[in-house]
Every structure is written in structure tokens, then in C-alpha cells.
A = this chain, B = another copy of it.
Amino acid sequence: MKPTSSQQGRRWSLRPAWSRGYNLELASQDALAALIVTLLLIPQSLAYALLAGLPLEVGLYASVLPLIAYALFGSSRTLSVGPVAVLSLMTAAAVSPLAAAGSTAYVLGAVLLALLSGAFLLLMGILRLGFLANFLSHPVISAFISASALLIAASQLQHLLQWPLAGHTLLEMLMGLDWANLSWHGPTLAVSALSLLLLLGARHGFTPLLLTLGMPAKVAALLSKTGPVWAVLLTTALSWWLDLASMGVAVVGTVPQGLPSWQWPSWDWQWLQQLWMPALLLALVGFVESVSVAQTLGARRRQRIDPNKELVGLGMANLGSAFTGGLPVTGGFSRSVVNFDAGAQTPAAGIFAAGGIALVMLWFTPALAYLPKATLAATILVAILALVDGQAIKRTWRYSRQDGAAMLVTLLLTLVAGVEMGILAGVALSLLLYIHRTSTPHSALVGRLPGTEHFRNVQRYQVETDPRIATLRVDESLYFANARFLEDRVDALLSEQPALRHLILMCPAVNWIDASALESLEAINQRLQEAGVQLHLSEVKGPVMDQFKRSHFLQVLSGQVYISQFEAWQQLRQQLPVSQEAFDPQL
């Protein structure tokens, strides 16, 4: 049963459900939240463009149309869409083999990536392929995010310390540095230190300070989350006042004024071949992260998140970004929390925030020219280090060795071999371990508890058995990964019980049987028959019987299908002669 089926009727209407009954009170709440989100979105979108190796305005371009598109098509009321750190890192890793960072071709690559991942998301939404995200298990995603955060943090050293850093893996960065000739640039260091102080101060010391000043707790907590805004304002002012650029501090410089314009992303067959896989991974990672944020916030107000609608919303947001020259986007955690806490009621808050960014682009970009890049790098660093979950591996390893191993492999490979390799290896290992786990399902030879109709494991209970009748219970659906197990199990049974004449397969826990398992059953039936043993089934569920009826298995089955195991046991015992010496295999 699909939980979403009740909403299908109104899914594709262009007028979103929330717009009905929209009124001035809701609008004023949304507008206030939008104001705060806009203030936060400016430094973030610049910083994440910097992280992706793109001209900074590309970050702003990705913060207008995508927000509107998501408001119209998405299902969360409070998700704040836009550039996020992990996707920027993945963008840089995907595009930099194709073009030099900052070049026109590089920008085109990032835009193409947004287009492709938007198309993937939209397609998955329309075809209801959201289950593809299930390939990314929690341990793999968690390890991937932690490793990405470390990579991002390391890469920001180039702006914080003005070190010449290159590469997209920890190895490349470490090997690329000219360790003997590293220099320290005083003014840049000072700006970095000041920014970090402001950011960490806002995060940890600001709330108590504001509380002692008599501010309501909620407002104080909210203000402490807008630390990046104050850091940007203060360092930009300082930079302008002291002319830090002339001292060699790298500043943002000219950001083109004006709204993002509609443009067709350019196509290139070879680039498509290079970028489709990164785009797919980007789409999946962005979706998984975004849905998790949306569901967390949605639950607080008992609002429903529809995963397929989320796919469409995020897909349209990315297409919107691509068609206005922006980079890939998704729902960001910190911004969404600020949006929620600031009282956003409907997705209109996102539309208002898009308006805010548009205003900034029209009139305020000249002020951004003085903003030191080190401040943006500090913003990234503080935001991203909160994502590193050092305890997760230990915790997961203790819970399950298999999941811990998948986590470790993802973490290490992401760090040393890059984001794509890391996530692909993690997914492959998860699948491998899962197949391993299900390839030997729990099974037991069972016998009758004397005087009852119950059948239990012969190794755990004193039960009635007969050397001529074996009953095997398999506690799992039968499919390709465990079909061979069944063959091996019966094979062993056959050689261990020379007196065997009847094998009953007891199926109360078998929910479905795929074509591989069906063929295995046929092979087992055939082999048993040649060895003079009849195969019977008992307690087969209704859906499985329906499946059997679509095949010729019931025609070739050498024995019978019994409703209950007890019935099978009774009838087969009656058929057999009382004396066991009479037994003679038909070979």
C-alpha cells in the first residue's frame, strides 16, 4: 500500500495547496522569516560558489528561481532550498577534470550538472523512482558527509591562510603543497581569526549574552544563528575602511549587478558522458539530505512530506538554477532550521527570500566587492565542521560490523580517492554485505512437539521425527541470493539421511518466490525424484500459491501441497509402512 495514493488527485496542479486561504497574517510571518533567511543566504550562496570554484555571482543566481520553483512544486512548507556545501564540493570534483576553475567552460559545466541532476530528479519523481535513493544507506551517507566535510575544511585553508592548494582528495591536497616554502600572510590571518571568532562566538557565546540582556530566549537563539551575517558586515566594513585589498588580502571584487537572465545550458555529447554519473549521485545525495531535513521539520507541525513530490520540487529547483546560470541546489539544513524557527508558515517565505536576493543583486552587489574571501571560507569552515560525526563509526561498528565496514570504506575512499569513488564503493559494499547476509537465511529442520500440532526446531526441542520424513522450515522469502542455499541445504540433507523418502518444505515465512528460487525448487524436485524422494510443501501463503499457479511447478511437483504441516505429517506417516526395514531407494 502506497501511503501517498490519497494525494494523487491534486498533485500536478500548478496552484499549490498552501496558497488557498493564504492571508495577511501568514504573509507577515513568512516575510519576517524570509528577511532573516535572506541575510543568511547571501554569505552562504557566495561561500558555496567559492567552494565550488565558481564566480561568486553563480551562487546568487542559484538562490532566486530555484526557491520560487521549489515553493510551487515541493511538498515541505519550511525547507530552504539553495546552494549547499556538500553539493558544491561534488560539483567541483565533477567539473574540474573538464575545465579550469573559474573559466567560462567551468561555469558551463556546473550549469550542465544542475541541468542533468534536475532532469534526473524530475524523472525520478514522475516515474516514482524515489526508491533509488534507498541504495544510499545511512552509514554510507553519514560517512560520505563526514569525509566531505573534512575535505571541504581542508580545501578552505587556501582562503583562510592564502596557501596555494589544489586537488580534490586529501592526498592530492597534501602532495600538492610546497611544504618547505609555505608563508603566512598576516592581514589574511587576522581577518580569518576575526571571522572565526565572530562565528564561533555567535554560535556558542551569543545566546547567553543576549539572554542576560533580557532578550526572549527564542529571539536570542535565532539571532545567534545569523552569525555569518554579522561576520560579513563587520569584515566588509573593516576591509573597506582599512583598504585590506591593497595589503594583499583577497577580496570578492566585482560581482556583476542585475538579475540572473534566462539562458539555455549548452550541450556537449562528450561532457554529457562525463557528467551523467556525477549528476545522478549529486541528485541522490541532495534528495536524501533534503528529505531528511524536510521530514524532521515537517513532523514538528505534523505536516506531511511526499517524497515523490519532493523529487519533482527539487528537480524543478535545479532546472530553474540551470536555466538562470546557477549551480546545483538542494534543501540546506541550517537555513531550513532558521526558516522554521523564524516562523515561516508556508513556502511563500521561500518566494519572499528569492525576492530579497533579487533586490541584493539589483542594488547591493557593489558593497560585496570589499568582502574578504577569508570571511567566506570561515563561514564554510564553521558550518561544515558541525557535520563531522566522529562518534558515528564507533557507534555503528558496535551495532553492526557490516554497517561499520561499509562506513569505514566510504570514509577512507572519499578522503583519498574522491567523492564519487567513495560513494560508489560504499554502495557496492552495502549491497555485497546485504546479499551475503540474505544468502544464508535462517532455516531449521523441525519435528512435532509430542501431543500437539506444533512443529519446532529439532536442535532445540525434544520432538517427534521419522528418518523417512524430513521437514525443512526456511524463515525468509526465497530469491536469487538464497536460491543456491536451498539447493545446497537439500543436497546435504539427501546425503545425510539415506532413509529419506519425503521432504516437506514448510513455508509460513515465505512471502514471495522469485524466478531463480522457482527454478531452484524445480531442480530440487527433480533431483529428489531421481533419488526416490518426494517433495511436498506445507503452509504456503496465498500470494505464493498464486505465483505457483502462473508456472508449471505444481504440475511437476512430485508430492503435494498441504494446508498445514500437521496434516502433511499425519498423511505421509500413514502412507509409509510401519517397519523401516521395508525401505529401499528407487535408484
Contacts and interface: CB of A to CB of B under 8 A. Distances in A.
Interface of A: 1-4, 130-139, 142, 291-292, 295-296, 298-305, 307, 395-396, 398-400, 402-404, 407, 430-432, 434-437, 439-440, 442-444, 475-476, 479-484, 487-489, 491-496, 498, 509, 511-512, 514-516, 518-520, 523, 526-528, 530-531, 547, 550-552, 585, 587
26 contacts: A3-B493, A131-B436, A131-B440, A134-B435, A134-B483, A134-B484, A135-B435, A135-B480, A137-B514, A137-B516, A138-B519, A139-B516, A296-B523, A296-B526, A296-B527, A300-B527, A300-B587, A302-B494, A304-B495, A304-B496, A398-B550, A400-B514, A400-B515, A402-B514, A430-B480, A434-B479
B302 A483 contact: no
Nearest to A495: B304
Nearest to A489: B3
B475 A511 contact: yes
A137 B3 contact: no
A307 B484 contact: yes
Contacts of A430: 480
A131 B435 contact: yes
Count of chain copies:
2
A432 B127 CA distance: 15
Nearest to A476: B511
* Residue from A134, A295, A402, A550 whose CB has the most chain B CB atoms within 10 Å: A134
A523 B292 contact: yes
A523 B528 CA distance: 49
Given A131-B435, A295-B491, A407-B515, 17 more contacts: A1-B443, A131-B436, A131-B439, A131-B481, A134-B435, A134-B484, A135-B435, A137-B516, A295-B527, A302-B495, A302-B498, A304-B491, A304-B496, A307-B484, A399-B547, A400-B515, A430-B480
B518 A399 contact: yes
Contacts of A400: 514-515, 547
A132 B436 CA distance: 8
Contacts of A527: 295-296, 299-300
Contacts of A488: 3-4, 305, 307
B292 A403 contact: no
B492 A528 contact: no
B550 A442 contact: no
A488 B311 CA distance: 14
A133 B489 contact: no
Contacts of A432: 132
A136 B481 CA distance: 8
Given A301-B587, A400-B514, A295 B139 contact: no
A137 B480 contact: yes
B139 A515 contact: yes
A505 to B, nearest CB: 15
A585 B301 CA distance: 10
Most buried by B among A431, A509, A514, A528: A514
Given A3-B492, A299-B494, A516-B139, A134 B480 contact: yes
Contacts of A137: 479-480, 483, 514-516
A368 to B, nearest CB: 38
Given A430-B480, A523-B292, A399 B551 contact: yes
Contacts of A443: 1
Nearest to A481: B134
B442 A511 contact: yes
A531 B300 contact: yes
Contacts of A518: 399
Contacts of A436: 131
A266 to B, nearest CB: 29
A291 B491 CA distance: 11
A293 to B, nearest CB: 11
A53 to B, nearest CB: 31
Contacts of A307: 484, 488
Contacts of A531: 299-302
Given A398-B551, A492-B304, A530-B300, A134 B482 contact: yes
A49 to B, nearest CB: 31
The list of the 3 closest CB pairs from A to B, nearest first, reads: A299-B527, A137-B480, A403-B515
Contacts of A479: 137, 434
Contacts of A395: 551-552
Nearest to A528: B299
A512 B1 CA distance: 22
